[in-house]
Amino acid sequence: MRGLSFFNVAALTLGLAFLYIPILLLVIYSFNESRLVTVWGGFSTRWYGELFRNEPLMRAAWVTIRVAFVTAIFATILGTLAALALTRHGRFRGRALFTGLIYAPMVMPEVITGLSLLLLFVAINLDRGFWTIAVAHTTFAMCFVTVIVQSRLMAFDRTLEEAALDLGAPPWKVFFTITLPIVAPAILAGFLLAFTLSMDDLVIASFTSGPGATTLPMRIYSQVRLGGTPEINAASAILIGLVATAVVIATIVMRRSARMRAAQAD
């Protein structure tokens, strides 16, 4: 194996430092006793206590989790169907438009997506709130699920399905006993991605929410605009911790399933 040059090592170290130092500072200083952000006043979990007593923030967190959960379920189902359509159905009519509809929402600036969905909800006279946010989030999250599941379906050995069909298994049985278990890790990854995308979103939620449905990012944003508080640091640290744990677990699960498949293949 070729070694890393000094330049390579420097690029990696600086790059990772750039990515992680801001996050680490935020997490460390969330345990700061002092109200002043940069002055270390001793270790304390005081702001975490205040955070949990902050009624509006807690309510917003609960709304966010529920929206993210509903979004992840719908986005996973729709995204998986779209991935199947793109990989298994060859050149159906309108395919070019369909791929366009999958890729465009991923790069579309959020202000446009948000505004257009809001105008739709107004035009059809829908009361804005929990469900309109969930529908809006599902629309862009499903595209990410599609890409992830699609790449998995592309890499998949079709002869397994053909063998099962030749042996007389009905198509639905082949789908549930062969196709689905093989793409399951990608579907899980898509579910988690859809969940975090929904939990993170500020812009689209701001456009599509109504009275009574304030999400956590919306609440954090309005507090940050007013200058930020140590409670926001604590809330951020909790969110970072949750995401990091979820990603580590997902990585381990996917590694293990990959290893099991490798072992079965041998």
Partner 1 sequence: MQHFTRRLVIIIPYLWLAAFFLWPMAIVLKIALSEPRLAQPPYWPLLDLAAGWDGLVAFFKALSFENFVFLAQDDLYIASLLSSLRISLISTAILITIGFPIAHAMARAPRSWRPILVAAMILPFWTSFLIRVYAWIGILRPEGFLNHYLIGAGLISEPLTILNTEYAVFIALVYTYLPFMVLPLYATLERMDHTLIEAARDLGASRARAFWTVTVPLAKPGIIAGSLLCFIPITGEFVVPDLLGGSQTLMIGRTLWVEFFSNRDWPVAAAVAMVLLVVLVVPIVIFREAESRRMEAGAKGGAKGGAGARDKGERP
- Please give the residues from 81 up to 120 whose contact with partner 1 meets the rule CB under 8 A: 81-82, 84-86, 88-89, 92, 94, 98-113, 115-117, 119-120
**2 part of the interface to partner 1, by CB under 8 A:** yes
Query: With respect to partner 1, which residue has the nearer C-beta, 213 or 220?
Result: 220
Query: With respect to partner 1, which residue has the nearer C-beta, 38 or 159?
Result: 38
Instruction: Annotate each residue in 233-252 with x if it binds partner 1 (CB under 8 A) or - if it does not, as one string.
Output: x--x--xx--xx-xx---x-
DSSP 100-131: HHHHHHHHS-HHHHHHHHHHHHHHTTPPPSHH
Query: With respect to partner 1, which residue has the nearer C-beta, 69 or 98?
Result: 98
Cα(46)–Cα(202) distance, rounded to whole angstroms?
27
Radius of gyration in angstroms for the set of CA atoms belonging to the chain, rounded to a whole number: 23
- Which two three-digit tokens encode residue 91? 């050149």
Instruction: Annotate each residue in 13-32 with x if it binds partner 1 (CB under 8 A) or - if it does not, as one string.
Output: --xx-xxx-xx-xx--x---
**260 part of the interface to partner 1, by CB under 8 A:** no
Taking CB under 8 A as the criterion, which residues in 124-183 touch partner 1? 135-136, 138-139, 142, 144, 146-148, 150-151, 154-155, 171
| CB-neighbour burial class of residue 72 (10 A; exposed 0-12, middle 13-18, buried 19+) | buried
Please choose, from the candidates 217, 210, 183, 197, the residue with its C-alpha nearest in 3D space to the C-alpha of residue 72: 197
Three-class DSSP category at 32: strand
Query: With respect to partner 1, which residue has the nearer C-beta, 117 or 164?
Result: 117
Q: Choose which of 58, 65, 169, 202 interacts with partner 1 (CB under 8 A).
A: 202
Task: Please choose, out of 42-50, 51-59, 157-165, 232-240, the segment that lies near partner 1 by the rule CB under 8 A.
Answer: 232-240
Cα(206)–Cα(214) distance, rounded to whole angstroms?
8
Query: With respect to partner 1, which residue has the nearer C-beta, 46 or 102?
Result: 102
Cα(29)–Cα(49) distance, rounded to whole angstroms?
15
Instruction: Annotate each residue in 49-88 with x if it binds partner 1 (CB under 8 A) or - if it does not, as one string.
Output: -----------------------------xx-xx-xxx-x
Give the CA dihedral 40, 45, 50, 54, nearest 10 degrees: 110
Number of chain residues interacting with partner 1 (CB under 8 A): 95
Query: With respect to partner 1, which residue has the nearer C-beta, 46 or 230?
Result: 230
Residues 6+ apart with CB under 8 A from 250: 188, 189, 192
**200 part of the interface to partner 1, by CB under 8 A:** yes
- Which two three-digit tokens encode residue 72? 């992840």
